[in-house]
Amino acid sequence: MVGAESGRPHVALLPSPGMGHIIPLLEMAKRLVLHHGFHVSFITITTEASAAQTQLLRSPNLPSGLHVVELPPADMSTILHDDMTIVQRLCLIVQESLPYIRSVLRENPPQALIVDIFCTDAFQIAKDLSIPAYSFFTAPTALLALSLYLPTMDREIEGEYVDLPKPVQVPGCNAIRTEDLLDQVRNRKIEEYKWYLLSVSRLPMAVGIFVNTWEDLEPVWLRGLRENSFFQQIPIPPVLPIGPLIKEDEPLTDFDNDCIEWLDKQPPDSVLFITLGSGGTLTSTQLTELAWGLELSQQRFILVVRTPSDASASGAFFNVGNNVMKAEAYLPQGFMERTQEVGLVIPSWAPQVTVLRHPSTGGFLSHCGWNSTLESISHGVPMIAWPLYAEQRMNATMLTEEVGVAVRPVVGEGKNVVGREEIERVVRLVMEGEEGKEMRRRVRELQSSALATLKPGGPSFEALSEVAGTWTTTAH
């Protein structure tokens, strides 16, 4: 037994594939090793793993005591097909990996198993092996609240949720506009909805649900889950905010170093960083409008460009880091020459944490994926919210209307893209306007709060410490 051999208590973490799931669970694993003295088995599903995921998990910089267990790839040749949605694909990959997961856990039983939302199939394995199982919900508490309410909605509401005359009122929480509902629940007839409903309906089986947030960021949602009689009657397990768990460091290539050197030469808070997460892509028309909007704004920028996809906004989810192309091919003719004094264009991938941490970075045009959101707030950078898929519309609304750290561009009437003039307007607003200054003040307040909550004595540190204490007790 690895845990027993090291003399430390042993826990196992099981993320589903995809950088948005791997990163926060890996950061939790690191904290358990470095701050709480655990040995951690980080069980990874290698089936359809992206190049970026493989590179991250084979990094030589992982702490001693964190053991990455790579499961053999499952044969998906007769199961997956090209037009499957992300959630359906993830759930099927996890399902086919279950025999390998069972074998790893039986061989080396941990004191606890922590799984993410698309690995709830493993709850049954944990039960069979008498291992306490927890969930790590990698999206915001707002989505957790909606997800825990979803089985009730499914029973009580007829027709499509997006056709409801009023916003969805989650008990004890804020209402969610129907147009902001996550992709997975927008059509109840498709397989993806059924998979998502199945996954979230198992959450009450967990001993506890970890969330990657903290008290000051989502107070209304956390209070609703803890205090509202609806959630007490389900009943749901304790909800434990242990965030913000974000990537602390990343290895830099020579190309990345060139990017940082360019940033070093720019004034403080002057550069807008534009990237749409590990899986996000724009249509070719929208990418053209974005480029023109940046040029018109005359602001400094770093633009990460991916091959446009007119088919899917999540076109790079399973192949991020796999292909790098020449950015010029997808941008307006002459754009790079005309903006070379103020802009830097990077193909495919940039060292996001390093750029957000840099003092010259003053704004972030983001898809509002939860990891990127937490990174932006933790580094004190206000956002232009550009949601693409999953729950990102919910996140964008929360950041603009509840938290006050983002502005969202408006799509003109009768248009299906954000026009260049609107992009120019929001870029100038964030980078040089009064509203931008207020957003920057607010995000820096939350930055201080994020730092404090993770220190010994802070609420997020203590929440993890308390649970870790129970696992340590059972280890002896």
3-state secondary structure of 271: strand
- Of 251, 337, 296, 276, the C-alpha closest to 425 is 296
The region that residue 455 occupies, defined by phi over 0 for left and psi between -120 and 50 for alpha, beta otherwise, is beta
Q: For residue 10, how many C-alpha atoms fall within 13 Å in the half-sphere facing its CB?
A: 17
Report phi then psi at 190, rounded to 5.
-90, 160
DSSP 364: E
* 21 assigned to active site: yes
Helix, strand, coil percent content, the chain, rounded in steps of 5: 45, 15, 40
For residues 407 and 383, what is the distance between their CA atoms, to the nearest angstrom? 7
For residues 64 and 148, what is the distance between their CA atoms, to the nearest angstrom? 37
Burial 269-300 (b: 16+ CB within 10 A, else e): bbbbbbbbbbbbbbbeebbbbbbbbbbebebb
- Of 140, 91, 129, the C-alpha closest to 12 is 129
Could you tell me which residues come within 8 angstroms of residue 440 by beta carbon, excluding any fewer than 6 positions away? 269, 362, 380, 382
Residue where the block lists tokens 């825990």: 148
Other CB atoms within a 10 A radius of the CB of residue 332 amount to 15
Report phi then psi at 312, rounded to 5.
-150, 135
Q: Which of 10, 21, 67, 379 is catalytic?
A: 21
C-beta separation of 468 from 36 below 8 A: yes
Could you tell me which residues come within 8 angstroms of residue 310 by beta carbon, excluding any fewer than 6 positions away? 283, 284
Q: Which of 116, 121, 180, 183 is catalytic?
A: 116
* 83 assigned to active site: no
- Of 43, 54, 47, 204, the C-alpha closest to 113 is 43
C-beta separation of 183 from 139 below 8 A: no
* Residues marked as catalytic: 21, 116
